[in-house]
Structure 1
Amino acid sequence: MSSSVERALRILVELASGPATISDLGRRLDVHRTTSLRLLRTLEEERFVRRMEDGRYRIGPRMTSLAQVALEGLDVRAAAAGHLRELGTACGHTVHLAAREGRAMVYLDKVESSHAVRMYSRIGAPAPLHATGVGKAVLAAMPQDERDGLLGEPPYDRCTPNTRTTREELAADLAEVADRGWALDDFEHEEFIHCVAAPIRDAAGTVTAAVSVSAPNMVLDRPQLLDLVRPLQRTAAAISEELGWSPDVSGSGAH
């Protein structure tokens, strides 16, 4: 990369954190003031930066529009693919990516377990919001009225003896999910399968998808499953970052 292009990109990165003067940029980038001025004028001509009345420079309208186009073109499945594979390789268990579509979660991608005993699931198949880890990870981030509208009137469908079928049971569970930042499917969807799930946020901080690690209880016990929460959360955060999310910008926290 040429030095001019590199410096121009560094200027844009610096201005992304807020307006700055020519002198400010020169000090931060360790370049002469005349070099900063030359690059800023070129960027201003192309509308990547704009000079304010007080002499400082800020990000310009062309940069903003390009960022918007880039974010709109992001595909959660494409953004997540590499991270799902890394998590699956590291833990050896089934990894799912799912997103909410209407009143259900739909599996978008899957990394198979390396164990002989596996769970059955199919990409494109729907799953209930209230009885899955991925569903609860999404529900926990919703306002109560939106959540109630999606779930309808209780009792909710019972998938196993452990399924939360009352509004009170599910609300208490979701409050814990929101507080700790991850969800547990405690054999609520399938009797012998448990999982942990973490929410995925888009650039606006909205949770519409989640990633999970699932395993039969004969392969992975509860303590071993909970040991996977940290790497799972790191994976969810990495995917969210690919989608343009930043806790510093969104202010929504890491949950």
Structure 2
Amino acid sequence: MSKTVAKAVHVLRSLAEAPKTIAELARELGVHSSSALRMVQPLVDGGLIARGPDGRYRLGLRLVELGQQVLDEMDLRVVARPHLVALADATGATVHLAQLVDDQIVYVDKIEGAATIRTWSRIGRAVPLHTAAVSKVILAALPAPHRDRLLAAHTFTRFTERTITDPAEFREHLEAVARLGYATDRAEFEPLVHCTGVAIPDATGQLGAAISLTTVRAAADQPAADNPLHRLREAANAIATALGRPLR
């Protein structure tokens, strides 16, 4: 990657975190403000970033269009969406669809249920491997060498008192997930937020995707008002069938 392209990528990633002035971007890039301005102008011209009334630069709407195009070209998302909407309508919960893309598990769709929950998750955002229900079921089903490579590069950050931070303990946890056929996130990433997830085989039969239901409960061990597992499995089977790979 050329230095110019690398710096442009840095600008996009930086602005994804928060809007910045040209002086702030220049400091991050280690260049003079005039050089930074020349560097960002092509991004502005292309609609990838925009300058607001306050003088700060932020991500542009063209990125939304490009991101939507990428998502629309993902067959799994197109096939799964009506089933995700139906699941959200039936449960009132937030529904997530995640997929293994290269070496990251990424949220590729999210349907807000009637009982809207504002959570950290966002379409296009990488899933926390050691806390999310969707990542656990995908990891549990991966071939061991692939799973080991992903976990070896992962940092087991503690987010709540229930987060599993020991790699060995997490591997044992994944063995239990594989036996059960589903995974849970019991306030392991966000307090009060609980998820149940099941995996979906893709068109090749690999378990590279998963769906989950997200609810909020005051107590970590408080049962949900309605056990969502059977609904999740029905939705996963419907998606798998549409992809030509019904679950067994």
For residue 96 of structure 1, give the secondary structure of its aligned residue in structure 2: strand
Instruction: Tell me, yes or no, if the aligned pair for 2:94 and 2:117 is still in contact at 8 Å.
Output: no
Distance in 1, matches of 2:157 and 2:225, equals 26
**Could you tell me which residue of structure 1 aligns to residue 243 of structure 2?**
243
Aligned pair in 2 of structure 1 residues 84, 165: CA closer, same or farther (>3 Å)?
same
Map of 2:135 onto structure 1: 135
Taking structure 2 as the reference length, the TM-score comes to 0.64
1:47 is matched with which residue?
none
| 1:112 to 1:155, Cα distance in 2 relative to 1, 3 A | closer
Question: Aligned partners of 2:125, 2:243: CA distance in 1, in Å?
Answer: 23
Other structure's SS at 2:178 match:
helix
Question: Is contact 1:154–1:167 with CA below 8 Å preserved after alignment?
Answer: no
Runs of 4+ in 1 over 6 A off after TM superposition: none
How many residues are paired up? 176
1:232 aligns to what? 232
**TM-superposed deviation, 1:246:** 3.4
Question: Does the C-alpha gap of structure 1 residues 121 and 104 become closer, same or farther in structure 2, counting only changes over 3 Å?
Answer: same
Q: What secondary structure is seen at the aligned counterpart in 1 of 2:199?
A: strand
Q: Equivalents in 2 of 1:188, 1:101: separation in Å?
A: 23
Match of 1:207 in 2: 207
Greater radius of gyration (CA):
1
Aligned to 1:121: 121
Separation in structure 2 between the aligned mates of residue 158 and residue 171 of structure 1, nearest angstrom? 16
Letter matched to residue 235 of structure 1: A
Q: Which moved more, 1:214-223 or 1:174-183?
A: 214-223
8 Å Cα contact 2:192/2:220 also seen in 1: no
What is the CA–CA distance in structure 2 between the aligned matches of 1:231 and 1:139, rounded to whole Å? Answer: 22
Could you tell me how far 1:159 is from its partner in structure 2?
Answer: 2.4
Report the TM-score when normalising by structure 1.
0.63
Shift of 1:170: 1.0
Counterparts of 1:171 and 1:148 in 2: how far apart (Å)? 9
Identify the residue that residue 250 of structure 1 maps to in structure 2.
none
Give the C-alpha shift of residue 76 in structure 1.
0.3
Instruction: Give the CA deviation at 1:153.
Output: 5.7
Residue correspondence of structure 1 range 25-174 to structure 2 within 5 A = 75-115=75-115, 117-152=117-152, 156-174=156-174
Distance 1:235 1:107 in 2: 17
Where does residue 7 of structure 2 map in the other structure? none
Aligned-pair distance for 1:191? 2.0
- Aligned-pair distance for 1:125? 1.5
Q: Shift of residue 204 of structure 1?
A: 2.7
Shift of 1:226: 6.8
Shift of 1:165: 1.8
Q: Is the 8 A contact 2:94 2:116 kept in 1?
A: no
